[in-house]
Chains A and B, each alone.
Chain A
Amino acid sequence: MLAQYVVNGVLTGGIYACLAVGFSLVWGVLNVVNMLHGSMVVLGAYFCLYAVQQLGTPLYVAMPLACLFLFAAGYAVQKGVINRVIGQPILITLTLTFGLELIVNNLLLHLFSATPRSLVTNFGAIEVFGLRIPVVRIGGMLVAAILTVLVYWLLRHSKIGRAIIAVRMDRHAAALMGIRIKQIYALTFGIGALMAGAAGCAMALIYPITPMMSGLFLGKAFIICVLGGLGSVPGAIIGGLVLGLVEGVGSVTLGPQWATSVGFMLMMLVIIVFPSGLAGKRGYE
């Protein structure tokens, strides 16, 4: 049974990581706590739901389309709105994204209602040495892994990625090197939104979706970022897995009602012991 709990924790952690990668990137590079992230995940989920169920688009086509749509929307929001206050204290950008979140979330509620909707109901499970592993959750983990590898590659090996890293390290020096800071901000926010779109499609496979889930998604992403380290892409994976496992341990030992509280308690502990997160670099906390 212990092995099954570990498998449950790892699979749940994989899904959590999927939610947090984009959020972590935006927070780390732009120093913006993007309160809109949860609603962007939900928007990605509804995009896939609509494309698959109403238009009959295959999921493997719907997911890249959702990513493109979210990228364009994220790029436009950063360029047209957030860039105007990007130099202001973090509270201003936080308030701005919170306001945008309210608008987007209420629009989603108006368009789709609060009735839960699901993309697929049953993918089945595989059994290995008596352990049940749901196929859909393996898919969620794969999406998280692919996203992480892609972003890691982008940041390490592309010109845009190096520019993003440069801006993250010292935006004034980056500007002196000829990097167009606001353009990089918009691109970074767009990439964060793109990853939220991909995560949303994965969530639509796993959860019954309602617009009300934005708060849940945002809350998990927030904890994972603090656990893993701001701006650290592998940190999002580590944070997600740690959170999934710790919630599982909390559920079994203290009772299910404490599972989510245990996550927040762990976050506070990590802030005290490792202010930069488990995989973050000093100076980005």
Chain B
Amino acid sequence: MRVAYAMFTAATLCLLNPTAGQAQETLRLGAPIALTGPLADAGVKSKQGYDVCVSAVNAKGGVKVGGKSMKLELVEYDYQSETNRAVQLVQRLINVDKVNFLLAPYGSGDTKATAVVAERYGTPMVAAAAATASIFDQNFQNLFGVLFSNSMITNAEVAYYTKTTPDLKRVAVFAMNSLFPKAIAASLVESAKAKGLEVVYNEIYSPDTSDFSNILTQVKSLKPDWIYATGYTQELVQVRRQMNDLGIEAKLVTMTAAPAYPEFRENVKALAENVTTNSWWHQNANYKDDYLFGSSLKYNEIFRERFKRDATYLEAAATASCETIAMAIEEAKSIAPDAVRKVLREKTFNTFYGPIHFGKTGQNDVNAALVLQIQKGDLVVLAPEALKQGQLNVGFPAKK
């Protein structure tokens, strides 16, 4: 009678919760994503990157864990670009949805806020869009970042431009008052000063800024050789247009990181010419990936087939963050957080995104910084030397 009662109870529970019986077969990745609000554009791109990874892993039979295969499932919520909501959703993902691992929200600020929760519950979290070093110096044991540090990017930029443009002396920097844009601008200032450049303007602007004419009028009066602006796509499109309105000239204009996205070029058309930028990834780097995609170019083909455009570093980093979790689980032969965390800490993952090694702080410490310029409407890799596709065009605006 007791056995029959137990069987009846188990069957009822399975009927009430159809996923209960298959819980062991599915590996759940929790992801708070900014699908609405100011970060929606970047949030949608991150989701596309995750979706490509989940589809690819499941198409090859899932993640192999100790003799069985587990399907990947992305458990996602829209955190509406609100940090507090992202924090609440990470708690929900851990406590209610019982996800195995976490993918961080977009941006350094939201990643830092949610990493505290991941740390409290001991759930490993991989961040695809957080590069600011101040997130990774908190001694978190469960936070891993795919993007290498801002300083690697800015050092590469300053080294390349000072080498190719010897009369580069005066730099003007302005950054959006948001964690990443501010941090990479600060890093650029440090890198520039270390190379002996004079920083003639160094200001931050509010995220609500819609008009840059006064900032640019000040910058113009200082006659910098190099203008370095950071922010998100919408602001930098407006900056580029207003530079044109005010007739600003310089040897170099660098923007982080909007010109890496096709919509920057679509919104400023010919004005995009000669704008330089940087990136953590470009498909032409063509890294080998034996686990999932084959290579960077093959990854981009898959992405383009699905979304009708090339992947940028943002989608690629999102895919890579999910891929490293899958690779770490297979290496650990377990889904236990401790075992997976240990592999994440020790192994170098060779992915289409490039080699990923989470250093002492949890941030990727393999430097593969790219310097890029828009030439004839296309992004051209200028550095590193091994991936170089063209020479730097000095002079801004571009001569017609």
Report which A residues bind B (CB closer than 8 A). 1, 4-5, 8-9, 11-12, 106, 109, 113-118, 121-122, 125, 127, 132, 134, 136-137, 207-208, 210, 212, 216, 219, 244, 247-248, 251-252, 255-261
Over the window 23-38 of chain B, the binary record of Cβ atoms lying under 8 Å from chain A Cβ atoms (1 yes, 0 no) is: 0000000000000111
Contact B270 A132 (CB under 8 A): no
Flag if A121 contacts B208 (CB, 8 Å). no
Bound CA–CA A240/B37 (angstroms): 26
Given that A4-B217, A125-B247, A257-B204 are contacting pairs, would A116 and B234 also be in contact in the complex, using a CB cutoff of 8 Å? yes
Residues in A with CB closer than 8 Å to B205 are 256-257, 259
Quote the shortest CB–CB distance from B267 to chain A (angstroms): 5
The residues of A that contact B237 with a CB separation of less than 8 Å are 116, 118, 208
- B215 adjacent to chain A (CB < 8 Å): yes
* B211 interface contact, C-beta 8 A: yes
B263: A residues at CB distance < 8 A: 115-116
Whether A5 pairs with B215 at a CB distance below 8 angstroms is no
Residue B213 at the chain A interface, CB threshold 8 Å = yes
Residues of A within 8 Å of B267, CB to CB, are 116-118, 121, 208
Q: Which residues of B contact A208 (CB under 8 A)?
A: 233-234, 237-238, 267
Jot down 5 A-B pairs with beta carbons below 8 A, ordered by A.
Answer: A122-B271, A132-B247, A136-B245, A247-B211, A260-B208
Q: In the bound complex, do residue B203 and residue A257 qualify as a contact, i.e. CB atoms below 8 Å apart?
A: yes
Does B214 lie within 8 Å of A255, measured CB to CB?
A: no
Q: Give chain B nearest CB distance to A38 CB in angstroms.
A: 12
Contact B203 A132 (CB under 8 A): no
Contact of B214 with A106 in the complex, beta carbons under 8 Å? no
What's the nearest-Cβ distance from chain A to residue B297, in Å? 25
Interface residues of B (CB under 8 A from A): 36-38, 40-41, 43-44, 174, 177, 203-206, 208-211, 213-215, 217-218, 221, 233-234, 237-238, 241-242, 244-247, 263, 266-271
Q: How far is A125 from B266 in the complex, measured between Cα atoms in Å?
A: 21
Residues of B within 8 A of A244 (CB): 211
A253 to chain B minimum Cβ distance, whole angstroms, is: 10
Give the distance in Å from the alpha carbon of A275 to the alpha carbon of B246 in the complex. 38
Q: Which residues of B contact A115 (CB under 8 A)?
A: 41, 233, 263
User: B264 to nearest A CB, angstroms?
Assistant: 9
Which residues from B are CB-within-8-Å of A8? 211, 213-214, 217
A258 to B205, CA, bound (A): 8
A212 pairs with B213, CB closer than 8 A: no
Q: Are A125 and B218 in contact (CB under 8 A)?
A: no
Give complex CA distance A12, B204 in Å: 20
Q: Given contacts A1-B221, A116-B41, are A216 and B210 in contact (CB under 8 A)?
A: yes
Set A113, A118, A137, A252: member contacting B214, Cβ < 8 A: A252
With both chains docked as a complex, state the minimum distance between the C-beta of A15 and any C-beta of chain B, in angstroms: 8
B204 and A256 contacting across the interface, CB-CB below 8 Å: yes
Nearest A residue to B258, CB-CB:
A116
Residues on A with C-beta less than 8 A from B266 are 117-118
CB distance from A240 to the nearest CB of B (A): 12
Known pairs A1-B221, A208-B234; A12 contacts B40 (CB<8 A): no
Residues of B with C-beta under 8 A to A260: 206, 208-209
Distance (whole angstroms) from the CB of A114 to the closest CB of chain B: 4
* Complex CA–CA separation, A248 to B215 (angstroms): 9
> What chain A residues lie within 8 Å of B238 (beta carbons)?
207-208
9 closest A-B pairs by beta carbon, nearest first, are A114-B40, A134-B245, A8-B213, A256-B205, A114-B41, A251-B214, A208-B237, A121-B269, A260-B208
Residue contact A259 to B217, C-beta cutoff 8 Å: no
Residues of B within 8 Å of A259, CB to CB, are 205-206, 209, 214
Query: For B38, what are the chain A residues with a Cβ–Cβ distance below 8 Å?
Result: 212
Distance of A136 Cα from B233 Cα, bound (Å): 21
- The chain A residue with its CB closest to the CB of B177 is A257
Assembled-state Cα–Cα distance A117/B213 (Å): 21
| Residues of chain B contacted by A216 (CB below 8 angstroms) | 208, 210
Smallest distance from the beta carbon of B10 to chain A beta carbons, Å? Answer: 42
Among A210, A252, A256, point to the contact of B234 (Cβ < 8 A): A210
A248 partner residues in chain B, CB cutoff 8 A: 213-214
Q: Which residue of B lies closest to A118 (CB)?
A: B267
With a 10 A CB-CB cut-off, give which of B213, B242, B246 has the most chain A CB atoms.
Answer: B213
The distance from the CB of A75 to the nearest CB of chain B, in whole angstroms, is 28
Knowing A1-B221, A116-B233, A125-B245, the reply to whether A212 touches B206 (Cβ < 8 A) is no
Q: Is the CB of B203 within 8 A of A255?
A: yes
Q: Write the nearest CB–CB distance from A241 to chain B, whole angstroms.
A: 14
The interface residues of chain A lying within 8 Å CB-to-CB of B203 are: 255-257
- Determine the distance from Cα of A11 to Cα of B217 in the docked complex, in whole angstroms: 14
On chain B, the residues within 8 Å of A9 by CB distance are 214
In the bound assembly, the distance between CA atoms of A143 and B266 in angstroms comes to 26
Measured between C-beta atoms, what is the minimum distance from A191 to chain B in Å?
A: 25
* Cα distance, A248 to B210, chains bound together (Å): 12
Given contacts A134-B245, A216-B210, 10 further A-B contacts (CB under 8 A): A106-B36, A114-B41, A122-B244, A207-B210, A207-B234, A212-B40, A251-B215, A252-B218, A258-B206, A260-B209
Q: Enumerate chain B residues within 8 angstroms of A137, measured Cβ to Cβ.
A: 245
Residues of A within 8 A of B43 (CB): 114
Instruction: Give the distance to chain A from B172, nearest Cβ to Cβ, in Å.
Output: 12
B233 touches A122 (CB 8 A): no
B230 → chain A closest CB, angstroms: 13
- The reply to whether A212 and B37 contact each other, CB–CB distance below 8 Å, is yes
Partner of B241, one of A4, A5, A121, A219: A121
A21 to chain B, nearest CB (A): 18
Distance (Å) between the CB of A113 and the closest chain B CB? 7
Pick the most buried of A1, A4, A125, A247: most chain B CB atoms within 10 A of its CB. Answer: A4
The answer to whether B217 and A125 have CB atoms under 8 Å apart is no
A279 CA / B269 CA spacing, docked (Å)? 42
Distance in angstroms between the alpha carbons of A196 and B40 in the assembled complex: 24
Give the residues in chain A near B44, CB-CB below 8 Å: 113-114
Complex CA distance for A12 and B237, rounded to whole angstroms: 17
In the complex, the chain A residue whose C-beta lies closest to that of B212 is A256
Q: What is the minimal beta-carbon distance from B229 to any residue of chain A, in angstroms?
A: 12
Q: Which listed residue (B37, B211, B234, B270) contacts A12, Cβ 8 A?
A: B211
